[in-house]
Amino acid sequence: MRIILTHEQTDFDGLASLLGAHFLDETAIPVLPRRMNRNVRAFMTIYGADLPFIDPRDLGEQLIESVTLVDTQSLTSIKGMTSQTQVRAIDHHTERQDLPENWELICQDVGANTTIFVESIQEQDLRLSVVQATLLLLGIYEDTGALTYTRTTPRDARASAFLLEQGASLTIAHNYINHPLSLQQQEIYDQLRRDAEIHTIHSYAIIVSQGDAREMDEELSTVAHKMRDLLDPDAILLLITIRGGVQLIARSTSDQIDVAKIAAHFGGGGHSRAAAALIKSRERAEIYAELIDVLPKFVQPGITVAEIMSRAPQVLQPSTPVQEINRRMQRYGYEGYPIVDKNEIVGLVTRRAVDRAISHKLNLTAGQLMESGNVHVHPDHAIEYLQNVMTDTGWGQIPVVERDGHTIIGIVTRTDLLKTLAPQVTSPSHRNLADKLKSALPPARLELLEEIAAIAQEQRMAIYIVGGFVRD
């Protein structure tokens, strides 16, 4: 007998991988795990009759010749297995180093394990029912956050498009991806939220919380997702006492915090953004103390404000007239200026406010036009913190102030941030035009251009060449 297995407490990616593997080998029996996440159970209650899954209690006592293991590299023992049972694992998690030598492992870098099977289904031109296509879509959507998580690949998106063409229902998928918490889950959620602690490492906010769920039968990963969505930390680490030990659930929203390494430290594993570990025979307080102690080792310093800011920024006084502000903006191309009064940041004046005043012929000053507030960041702040400041205030230019005083040492703009977050969008071309300039310009003109460039670099200004010369 040939069977297909996935991990216990399975999610939609595990269940969909069972179905996908069965499509590719219909002689293999897809066996349901004993425990499934609540939203997966709810889906199976309604649509399970249309799917080929078998309960493990209905397998009988036949000898199991081979196992295809999907979305995991941990094998659950089932009656009928022997030391001669062949095991092939098809997974998308980090490859484990302690697997038996006789296992065959297929490990691919995709956001959802289901994607691997959908690609093969598409290559073989197999047809899917609405329920089958929807389950496969749920597998991809749940593990990729509906294609929004950073682990998502173009392969996941193409597989999703194929499933939609096959009739996958977004309405059904939405109902099960956004499943509400049960009463038990709500209780542990309230407990974890109440006891949450924030640890700041390299400017990253990491929430650590503890709870007791020994009387709970529901899965806990959904609770972690809800807390992450509500509190919006850079990472969240939950230590929850369950009947079998202490469950560590780890989620990250930053590339600088690899929670798979944190879980591995405690004997678990997973992705860089989602991982878990079951820790047995240890007290939760002891595990918590160790977690807090080792946590800084797993948080890498990210890009800081100091690395992307412009130094020696130009600032204005509240009394600066609008005509002078407009002249400076036109000359230097700046979109905004910090307003400083007695070495204190008191606001920001923007090009929009200046243009509006000029168009209405209003003789106003910077103090009358500015958006008031002492908004600033420090040079050692992470760019994620800067992004939050810009989002909360709406300011597109943020002054940078030394921690030991009020001195403004730089300014960082929305454009600076975008260049860091999405360099492929803001910098489509990196051609060096120096050789072309040398061939196109006479020596005297080239010398003048180099002199202008030196002055501009010294004063941190941009220079532009315009007109037909650029085209030519």
Structure tokens of 315?
């600032």
Structure tokens of 333?
């191309």
pLDDT at 425: 45
Compute the distance between CA of residue 440 and CA of residue 157 in angstroms, rounded to an integer.
46
Q: Which amino acid type is present at position 138? A: L
171-188 pLDDT, tens digit per residue, is 999 999 878 888 899 999
CATH architecture of 2-177: Alpha-Beta Complex (3.90)
Compute the distance between CA of residue 377 and CA of residue 163 in angstroms, rounded to an integer.
46
Query: How far is C-alpha 179 from the geometric centre of its chain's CA atoms?
Result: 21
Question: Under a CB-based contact definition with an 8 Å cutoff, are residues 151 and 144 in contact?
Answer: yes
Please state the φ and ψ torsions of residue 243, each to the nearest 5 degrees: -65, -30
Looking at CATH, the fold of the domain delimited by 306-426 is given as CBS-domain (3.10.580)
Q: Edge to edge, what strands does the sheet with 66-70 contain?
A: 29-30, 2-5, 66-70, 86-91, 104-107
**CB-based contacts of 421, cutoff 8 Å, min separation 6:** 383, 387
pLDDT at 428: 44
Question: Under a CB-based contact definition with an 8 Å cutoff, are residues 329 and 355 in contact?
Answer: no
The class of domain 183-298 in CATH terms is: alpha beta
Q: Which amino acid type is present at position 131? A: V
pLDDT at 207: 96
| Residue for token pair 């200046």 | 354
Nearest to 421 by CA among 334, 271, 303: 303
pLDDT at 471: 59
Considering Cα of 110, then 113, then 118, then 119, what sign does the dihedral take?
Answer: positive
Pairing of strands 371-372, 235-242: unpaired
Compute the distance between CA of residue 234 and CA of residue 205 in angstroms, rounded to an integer.
5
Please state the φ and ψ torsions of residue 241, each to the nearest 5 degrees: -75, 125
Compute the distance between CA of residue 70 and CA of residue 13 in angstroms, rounded to an integer.
9
pLDDT in tens, the chain (472 residues): 999 999 998 999 999 999 999 999 999 999 999 999 989 999 999 999 999 999 988 888 889 999 999 999 989 888 888 888 999 999 998 888 888 988 999 999 999 999 999 999 999 999 999 999 999 999 999 999 999 988 899 999 999 999 999 999 999 999 998 788 888 999 999 999 999 999 999 888 999 999 999 988 778 888 998 898 888 899 999 999 999 899 999 999 888 999 999 999 999 988 888 899 999 999 999 999 999 999 999 999 888 999 999 988 889 999 999 999 999 998 888 888 999 998 889 999 999 999 999 999 999 999 999 999 999 999 989 888 899 899 999 898 999 999 877 788 999 998 888 888 765 444 444 456 777 777 777 888 888 888 898 888 887 777 888 876 665 5
Query: How far is C-alpha 81 from the geometric centre of its chain's CA atoms?
Result: 39
Domain ranges of the chain: 2-177, 183-298, 306-426, 434-471
Does this chain's domain 2-177 share its CATH topology with 306-426? Answer: no
| % pLDDT > 70, the chain | 96
**CB-based contacts of 362, cutoff 8 Å, min separation 6:** 322
